[in-house]
Amino acid sequence: MSIENKAIGIHERSIMKAARIFLVLGLVNVCSAVCPTPTVSYGWPRGLPVTYSWMTYFGPSAFSEVGVNGIGAAQTIDSAFPSWTYSNTQENTSGVGFYWTGGTGQVNIMVVRVNYPGVPNLDPHRAAGYTMAQYSETGIVISQRITLYLGSLDYGGNPIYDEAASSFQPFVKKVMLHEIGHGMYLTDQPLFGSALCGLQTFGESVMNGSCGTNDSQNMLPTSVRPCDNQAIQ
Ligand SMILES: [Zn+2]
């Protein structure tokens, strides 16, 4: 089990000059928590209202569309956004707010099922989800897409999600808090190797990796933590 965090070359140009597409993420397992949380050089601009909405997957058959409503998780996914809005207005100085309507920035959320779990390149992420953020040369995020991968396996071959368990919905929120964090200048906690969940500091950062099916080891917290707030620009 390990974290996957790689840039994938999607050479797509945005309307902004020299904008880049950056694929981050891989919310799986194993890291050591650092406080303040490690950062990257891009994020939403201060004070920006950001709209979030559900999106339908269409693309290669390695994945099938499930949809936010298909897992009964709309409310859970929705709940991650006001949690971040609260932190950004009450606990850090970014002022970035996430709203269902009226925002300037845009976050889209997709939920898909991995059709070939564990198969290299067809279950490429070994992750609960990933974020694709489009950002300008000056590091301003323009848009963000979050995809949750049901049915994916971690590097130990264990299911990342168990949709039938009561821990599923709380885990979905944890994953969402993590993914939204990728648009807030935050990056994954450092990788220490495989199957070493114990190296993490339990619950210290939303940028921890998960450990066990539905994060059974509770590496991920259920709200934005002080170490995260300290890191936000
Ligand atoms: Zn991540």
pLDDT one-digit tens code per residue, 162-208: 999 999 999 999 999 999 999 999 998 876 434 556 677 889 999 99
Phi-psi category of 211—alpha, beta or left, where left has phi over 0 and alpha has psi -120 to 50? beta
Q: For residue 32, with 0-12 CB atoms within 10 Å meaning exposed, 13-18 middle and 19 or more buried, which class applies?
A: middle
* 64 C-alpha to ligand 1 centroid (Å): 22
* 60 C-alpha to ligand 1 centroid (Å): 23
Phi, psi (deg, nearest 5) at residue 227? -65, -30
* 219 C-alpha to ligand 1 centroid (Å): 13
Phi, psi (deg, nearest 5) at residue 112? -130, 165
Q: What is the pLDDT of residue 124?
A: 65
Mean pLDDT of the chain: 83
* pLDDT tens by residue, 212-232: 899 998 999 999 999 999 999
Q: How far, in whole angstroms, is CA 46 from its chain's centroid?
A: 20
* pLDDT tens by residue, 22-63: 444 444 444 457 899 999 999 999 999 999 999 999 989 999
pTM score of the predicted model = 0.85
d(CA 93, CA 164): 39
* 206 C-alpha to ligand 1 centroid (Å): 9
* 80 C-alpha to ligand 1 centroid (Å): 15
* 179 C-alpha to ligand 1 centroid (Å): 6
